[in-house]
Amino acid sequence: MAQFAIKSRRSVILGAGAAIAAGFAIREYRLIPQDYAGGQIDVAQAHEQAVSGDILLVDIRTPKEWQTTGIGEGAVPLDMRREDFAQALSDLVSGDRDQPIALICARGVRSARLSNRLTEAGFAQIIDVPEGMLGSAAGPGWVRAGLPVRNYEGNA
Per residue in 104-133, pLDDT tens? 999 999 999 999 999 999 999 999 999 999
What pLDDT is recorded for position 153? 85
CATH number of the domain to which 138 belongs: 3.40.250.10
Domain containing 9: what range? 1-31
Same-domain check for residues 106 and 65: yes
Q: What is the pLDDT of residue 61?
A: 98
In whole angstroms, give the CA distance from residue 149 to residue 35.
28
With 0.85 as the threshold, say if the pTM is over it: no
The one-character DSSP state at 80 is: T
Mark whether 121 and 141 lie in a shared domain: yes
Same domain, 76 and 13: no
| pLDDT tens by residue, 39-94 | 899 999 999 999 999 999 999 999 999 999 999 999 999 999 999 999 999 999 99
Are 10 and 71 in the same domain?
no
- The CA radius of gyration of the chain, in Å to the nearest whole number, is 20
Nearest to 141 by CA among 78, 72, 51, 38: 72
Domain count, the chain: 2
Give a yes or no: residue 60 inside a domain.
yes
